[in-house]
Structure 1
């Protein structure tokens, strides 16, 4: 497990001691909070060298989270779409239904080592909130989750899960009432008492050491996937695809392949209602360099440097910033960042459900949508590995209300599969 947490750092030698990935990252926070961040950094650097911590983390990953998560060949979908073979890294099968549990277990273990009494966090789609509430319940800590009013309504099942697990869900009603505002509120609450509580951020964002720490805890995804795909296919994949909001699931799987230059890496941002509209959250595609929530990265911002309102059908992706390592990987050309619209994500949501019996999260559906388009440009002996970051239980009611299944049924007879796939192939 020690190698799992340190492999990617040793490979790239990033971040620097100051938490920088090139010009990105760092720590732009008040001096009193910087002292707390320094304490967290020191504790983290010590704890990842502690065999007792690593053994406990490994044990929980195996016996509680259910790791390793499998890699699955989506053969029926691959054959129907044509082109490359699509494989899925099934993070949706983890306990709590997404990749978020990977770093939440690590963060709460760290909180206990530091003697904290409470963990606090933001959540958009609710998966990070559920995962943190789960880890807090497991380890006997209090838990406050800040969530925008829009997302509370949209992701009601996850709100109920958090409450059942004993967390206090704090509704955020200001601004756009979504993820960015939830982060603002959680940071403010943390500033009021950084001594007895710890902010367990939900992605590879925020001031140093959070982008590094969350990436390291998520690196288990890439380490497993690298071994699994070689066992299944005899070689590394030709391409890896993951959705990108803040970017934790993508960094988790990308981290094990960054030195493999023949493996193309694709991060898929939310294009929402279109990149030619203001209703998207394609930070890398349309953003510029700025500072938000204590770190420097690419942001969607106005001429004054204020974060713009953003939008995505997927609550976990509607963030105006992105992890600093993603901005760095974009700047050096190692990762290709593209986008998928709401419509494309919903089509992929239905497509994977109908073709493979797997209902993906709307966040993950963005990656599936891009993989479908990418596969059609590749040969049948090539392989695409998609990080299926979460399951779609939380999205079912919303999708059925706003994007009813009848839109994707054939006009006359049939079961919908062929017409659905023909519709995709015509694009």
Structure 2
């Protein structure tokens, strides 16, 4: 979302491959209830609304929320800051912003935590040995300067060595990479980098990537290695964004409450003839892998939320696919109507456990029949979903406009949601400029 924002604020249309609709939806928090206990660490919320851009379909929202912890309630943390200080990091939106961002993170730590700092440019080196002293951490960050080429592989290996040497059993062991993503020297094979990340992930050291600046920025690689490292990825373009990621949402970045989280939704063909998941193109899970505990999936942090939106075609309504001429090509008529619209299954492992647990929740068919126009949180999530799809040029939106998207979002409260309205306006202006050039 923040990378898309960067393009729009510069008066540019973001490339379609830079727009991941599910990440835009999940940039915002929604009013999901807290889970009842740590043994069942998620609440599961489902609701249904009419689709603003298609009167023949409905939107099904599935929302997860993990339980929250305070800094005192989480385990001790062994953190390694791996900072790119190559010459490409010299601009104000890179290393100076990295230093401010990591200072915010350090200020949120407690006496039981330890922070190390590793830098890499022409060579990799240790700037700060493990310490809990915030003054030492700030001083080490203050002295960082940019210069030289980038040797990412050596820096990452050194960071893993330090994280492993100071490993806290039962604690949080994580590396934060802060870079513009320019791994142009030292990593000749991304497969070797990915194998390294996987190996240390399995040993308990996770990885978060923080992207800064532009130019040589390799967002795809940043996201990929964060996914493989059971961490998270963020693009930080301002001090406000740094505060959001490394202060307001720090618990979700640090403390894992569930591992290998997988969600599976089965729609009842008596109620739904066609469906599509909005976004998540690079996070799809093979159906046969849902019950396989050996297949790695994403981890969820404390207080973290996940929102998924499906657009569904009620049985009997006009869908996206044309009618078939021959009986053999038509789906058989459902034998019974049923009381369920869908069935949601959530599989996860608690930290320290190898066997997965299962949460199941039916979605009543009555929600489909009583669906009304989106309102409140559902309206805002739908507006963001429409925004992402429109930026990508997805075919399902038809002529749904940026003005309609802004109207759907309403008059939201809070800085981030209000900023969304401004971005929708910027996108509309850019659309007019592009049309004028054509």
Output the TM-score relative to the length of structure 1: 0.29
Based on CA coordinates, which of the two structures has the bigger radius of gyration? 2
Which structure dedicates a bigger proportion of its chain to strand? 2
Output the TM-score relative to the length of structure 2: 0.28
